[in-house]
Amino acid sequence: MKVCIIGMGLIGGSMALALREKGIASAVIGVDANPLHRQQALELGLADEMRELDAAVAEAGLVILAVPVNAVGELLRQILPQVNRQVIMDTGSTKQQVCASANACVNRNRFVATHPMWGTEHSGPAAAVANAFVNKAAVICNKEQSDPDAVALTERIYTALGMHLLYMEAAAHDLHAAYVSHISHITSFALANTVLEKEKEEDAIFELASGGFESTVRLAKSNPAMWVPIFQQNKENVLDVLNEHISQLRKIKSCLEKENFDYLRQLIEHANEIKRILK
């Protein structure tokens, strides 16, 4: 099966590697608006060829949208009227607006809304990782709106990539993603900015930084072109989670101000219960 991947960055490039390695893609046709990315995708062997959008879609049996979420709606409006039996799937981190855009298009039934729950702080074709998706979750949203054969192909692909499947409504996905992914990135961005402000006064701060700091702030290196649209599309859920996060920070701040270390211990012990989920 020929696979068209639109967006040859971290996710699209990693998909290309995995689909080729598993024998699912007989050829990968890449589409990317960035000339440098087009060149790198060919040089790195992520794509067999780079083509313009319409030609690539017409030739492929599967089209994967691996672009920032604010670009998905317009792509669906361009692509879905052209499809016959092709399957279109996206990989975006928000699903409600994506599904709403798809619902306004003809051939909505050929589209499957998905979110492979994997990523790194890096971007671009050179960031592509082999075997990136193994043992990760792949969420399929609003599956009842897609043709059974389109869903079946999507399930077969993610299973072949070593992922386990979850099924959700788009609204539930966006709520859960705000808790497990989006707030983590906001926290990392805020921590990085805090340290960068302090670093103006204390040059030694990065020399003292250890593994704990590095792992916490790692996500702050993530691409704003990807994350600003995610926060924009999932604003209400992110604000709810952010308000709760700020409330928890205020509790810790109050403990220190009032020297209430017994309550601080209780807060930390309660936080330790996350071990039941993250083992």
| pLDDT tens-digit readout, 44-63 | 999 999 999 999 999 999 99
Q: Where are the domains of the chain?
A: 2-169, 173-276
pLDDT of residue 196: 83
192 or 72, greater pLDDT: 72
User: What mean pLDDT do residues 85-89 have?
Assistant: 96
pLDDT of residue 211: 63
User: What mean pLDDT do residues 79-84 have?
Assistant: 94
The answer on pLDDT for 184 being more than 80 is: yes
CA distances from residue 68 to 11, 85, 93, 269 in whole angstroms, order as listed: 10, 25, 9, 38
The CATH class, in words, for 2-169 is alpha beta
pLDDT of residue 194: 87
pLDDT of residue 276: 79
Which of these ranges, 90-94, 96-100, 180-184, has the smallest mean pLDDT?
A: 180-184
Q: Which CATH number fits domain 173-276: 2.30.110.10, 1.10.3660.10, 3.40.50.300, 3.90.700.10?
A: 1.10.3660.10
Q: How many CB atoms lie within 10 A of CB 100?
A: 11
Q: What is the mean pLDDT of the chain?
A: 94
